Amino acid sequence: MTSDPLAPLDLAFWNIESDRHPMHLGALGVFGAHSPTAGAHAADLLAARAAAVPGLRMRIRDTWQPLAFGGATREPAPDFDPLDHVRLHAPTADFHAVAGRLMERPLERDRPPWEAHVLPGEDGVSFAVLFKFHHALADGLRALKLAAGVLDPVDLPERPPRAAEPPRGPLADVLSDVRALPGLVPGLVRGALSDVGRALDIGASLARSTLGMRPSSALTSAPSGTRRTAGVVLDIDDVHRVRKSAGGTVNDVLIAVVAGALRRWLDARGERTEGVAPRALVPVSRRRPRTAHPQGNRLSGYLIRLPVDDPDPLRRLDTVRTAMVRNKDAGPNRGAGAVALLADHVPALGHRLVGPLVGQAARLWFDILVTSVPLPGFGLRLGGHDLTEVYPLAPLAPGQSLAVAISTYRGHVHYGLVADARAVPDLDVFARAVSEEVRDLLAVCEP
């Protein structure tokens, strides 16, 4: 293993972090247990397998070399010990209560930035594992790959091998590069001008997005550094029934459910919903296979207004569908949601100096994060125990009270909710509102 420079967006995530706003992703997986000792056995397996996963041995180190001054690299930790990262906890009756407290603790920055917490269930028939990965180490796809490395092996069909290209001599490569130079220069100039135009477009869109309707105060708060988590499980068949009846995509329905749940939650709090249309950031992966740095974050995003002020669930879904179509037509490289792309234009030292300020400015950009985390369609296991539920958990931006992450796994949709524990002591009310919104959507869609 060799050192690898952090991509600009990874470096931004590394420098945005603060004690009260750690920048780690989480996933709470619940497993069925064959015995009360299953959790302890799972912890032993995770520690034993982690040593063989190269990505889990990588720490992040600051770089002060002239050509990368202020940057950082991933490099193998010489003293890596899996037991520093895998922890077995006391049995609990509430996995989410423990997960919330663990999510508020930042990862140790002088070690490979990940942890796996094993939570045995008091019932003796289940246990949970909370994985935490720093966003600078892995995005959702990379985190899934790292976690899969410590779960039970899965037999997958092999891809057919790619056809081998005929060998080329070094002289042929040099001549090819020389012949290509005249055509590359205009393209490089056009690319630079395009980048400048894109940056100006994103900045203008961001300024426009701050105008108009404001979110409810329930979505903004003074940061307390505390965390609370909750989970909701939906039947994917119910989501498909709504989609087939009302139109749109599965993702449109899942986002519209968040809008309706927010309205119900605010009503339960006695807060007004008139004119409330919070800006939701919907991240979009720009990762391409076989890139030079597959572990680097390649993210953009769409920014949409959630129609919390509309009392009609079908109109809310139609509004979300229209906004997503408009975003997709424009593409992930334009608009206010693409602010993450600007990280590529900031020098390494700039990320280090302005990172904390950028983190504090997140509330000016969006009001709530609604992200989808892909999971495999096949079943996962640990120590022979089936993974039955999995709740993705997103970082919480400074000044924001709630983040929503969504995954589909084995016929069910799992909503993972993360909130500031002091600002949202009633996160369970919002979780119930998610289920109630799907129930009402089904009622209005079914003949």
pLDDT in tens, the chain (447 residues): 567 888 877 888 888 888 888 999 999 999 999 899 999 999 999 999 999 999 999 999 987 665 556 688 899 999 999 999 999 999 999 999 999 999 999 999 999 999 999 999 999 999 999 999 998 888 777 888 899 999 998 765 455 555 544 554 544 444 444 444 455 445 433 443 344 444 444 444 444 555 554 556 788 888 888 999 999 999 999 999 999 999 999 999 999 999 999 999 999 999 999 999 999 999 887 555 444 444 566 567 889 999 999 999 999 999 999 999 998 888 766 554 544 444 454 555 555 555 565 555 566 678 999 999 888 878 999 999 999 999 999 999 888 899 999 999 999 999 999 999 999 999 999 999 999 999 999 999 876
Burial of residue 153 (number of CB atoms within 10 Å: 0-12, 13-18, 19+): exposed
Residue with tokens 């909750």: 230
Spatial distance between the Cα atoms of 405 and 391, rounded to a whole number of angstroms: 8
The whole-number pLDDT of residue 289 equals 47
Spatial distance between the Cα atoms of 116 and 139, rounded to a whole number of angstroms: 16
User: Which residues, including other chains, have CB under 8 Å from residue 155's CB and lie 6 or more apart?
Assistant: none
What one-character-per-residue DSSP string does 48-112 give? HHHTT-GGGGEEEEEE--GGGTTEEEEEE-TT--GGGTEEE---BS-HHHHHHHHHTSPPPTTS-
In this structure, the dihedral spanned by the alpha carbons of residues 392, 396, 400 and 403, taken in order and rounded to 10 degrees, is -10
Q: Facing residues of 369 across strands? A: 281, 403
Residue with tokens 């917490």: 117
Please, are residues 99 and 28 in contact by the beta-carbon 8 Å criterion?
A: yes
Dihedral sign from CA coordinates of 341, 225, 39, 83: positive
Spatial distance between the Cα atoms of 33 and 127, rounded to a whole number of angstroms: 6
Tell me whether strands 381-382 and 126-134 are parallel, antiparallel or unpaired.
Answer: unpaired
The whole-number pLDDT of residue 220 equals 84
Residue with tokens 């899965």: 154
Gyration radius of the chain over CA positions: 23
Structure tokens that stand for 216 in this block: 């409810």
Spatial distance between the Cα atoms of 70 and 141, rounded to a whole number of angstroms: 27
User: Which residues, including other chains, have CB under 8 Å from residue 45's CB and lie 6 or more apart?
Assistant: 150, 382, 383
Alpha-helical segments (H) within 210-293: 236-246, 250-269
Among 412, 439, 415, 414, smallest CA distance to 427 is for 415
The whole-number pLDDT of residue 86 equals 97
Among 305, 345, 333, 343, smallest CA distance to 321 is for 305
Please, are residues 341 and 202 in contact by the beta-carbon 8 Å criterion?
A: yes
CA angle 108, 112, 118 (to 5 degrees): 75
Tell me whether strands 402-409 and 412-419 are parallel, antiparallel or unpaired.
Answer: antiparallel
Among 51, 42, 58, 57, smallest CA distance to 152 is for 42
Going by the DSSP 8-state scheme, the letter that residue 66 receives in this structure is G
Which contiguous run of DSSP H or E holds residue 391? Answer: strand 385-393
Output 351-358 pairs: Cβ under 8 A, ≥24 positions apart. Answer: 351/8, 351/11, 351/12, 351/14, 351/15, 351/70, 351/71, 352/11, 352/15, 352/70, 353/70, 355/12, 355/14, 355/15, 355/16, 356/15, 356/16, 356/18, 358/12, 358/16
Structure tokens that stand for 131 in this block: 């994985």
